[in-house]
Homo-oligomer: A and B are copies of this chain.
Amino acid sequence: MARKTYGLIEAGGTKFVLGIAHGPDAVLETIRIPTTAPDETIGAVCEWFGARGPLDAIGLASFGPVELDRASPKWGHILNTPKPGWSGADLAGPLARAFCCPVSVDTDVNAAALAESRWGAGQGQRCVVYLTVGTGIGGGAVIEGQTLRGLSHPEMGHIRTPRHEADKAFAGICPFHGDCLEGMASGPAVIARYGHSLSQLPAGHPGQGIIAWYLAQAAVTVQAMLEPGRLIFGGGVMETPGLVERVREEAARLGGGYFRGQPADVIVRPGLGERSGLLGALALAGG
C-alpha cells in the first residue's frame, strides 16, 4: 500500500512553515514563507503545495484566535486579531477547495501538544500541556488523545498571576489585561522592562529570576488545573540557557510537594525541538 501524502502548515504571525510528509519519520520537504497579507500568503501556500502533486490530507496548525467549531460558517477562519488584515481571514476554505482533501485545523499550541504526546516528550501521558513563551504566550493541551477546546481554544497566556516582590512598578503589556501572564512574561514584556531579551541580559541580572518566577507561577496553576504528566515549555524565550531549570526549581518550591506530578519530572523542554509545530500539523492531518 502506498504511503499517504500529507500537507503540513504551521501558520504563524511572522512566518508560515509548510511541509510535505508521509509520516513523522518521513518529512520530505519544508519551506518557510513570510506572513504578509492573507491573500498573498494563502496564495503562496496553495502554489507551493500545488506544485507538489496530490495530497491525501492537510493539517493546519494556526496562530489564534482561530475558529475550531466545524459547525460554524467561520470554521478555519482567523477571528478578531490585532494583526492587520487578518481578522476574518479564511485559512481552511481555500485549501479545502484547492486540494479536494480533508483539512484539519487546530491551534499551533494544541497541535504541538499533540505531536509531543505522540512522538515527543509527552509519550505515554494521559494529559500533556504545551506552553510556548515567545512574542506571546500560548498554551495547548491533549487529554487522552484529544486536543483541548471549550467554547473556543485555550488562551493560557491570559491566566492571572501574582506579582513578583521586586516587579511591582511594571504595568504589563497585554492590551486586554495589562498584567496577565503574557503581559508580564512574554518576550516583549521582558524587552519593555529591561531593554533586552532574556538571553541578552548579563548573567546574574535580576530579570532572569523574575521571569522564571512568573513562569513557575504559571506552571503551578497549570498543574492545579490539569495535573498534566508533562508540561512542555517551548518558544523563543525558553531558549535562554538555564531558564527551564530555574522554572522547575521555583515550581517545586512553590508547589510544596502538593501535586502528584513533581516538577523535576513534569516540566520539560520539547522532545521534538522546533519541529513540534510542523509535526503537530502532521498529527492533525492523521499522519
Which A residues fall within an 8 A CB radius of B? 126-127, 139, 143-144, 146, 148-163, 176-177, 179-180, 217-218, 220-229, 254-261, 266
Copy total for this chain:
2
A143 to B259 CA separation, bound complex (whole angstroms): 22
Known: A149-B126, A162-B162, A163-B162. A176 touches B256 (CB 8 A): yes
Report yes or no: B151 in contact with A229, Cβ–Cβ below 8 A: yes
Report yes or no: A177 in contact with B254, Cβ–Cβ below 8 A: yes
User: Nearest CB to that of A141 among chain B residues?
Assistant: B225
A177 to B224 CA separation, bound complex (whole angstroms): 12
Report yes or no: A221 in contact with B177, Cβ–Cβ below 8 A: no
A179 to B155 CA separation, bound complex (whole angstroms): 24
Known: A156-B224, A221-B221, A224-B156. A162 touches B179 (CB 8 A): yes
Known: A143-B148, A163-B162. A224 touches B154 (CB 8 A): yes
Report yes or no: A256 in contact with B177, Cβ–Cβ below 8 A: yes
A-B contacts besides A158-B224, A158-B258, A163-B163, 6 pairs, CB < 8 Å: A126-B151, A127-B151, A151-B261, A152-B259, A159-B221, A161-B162
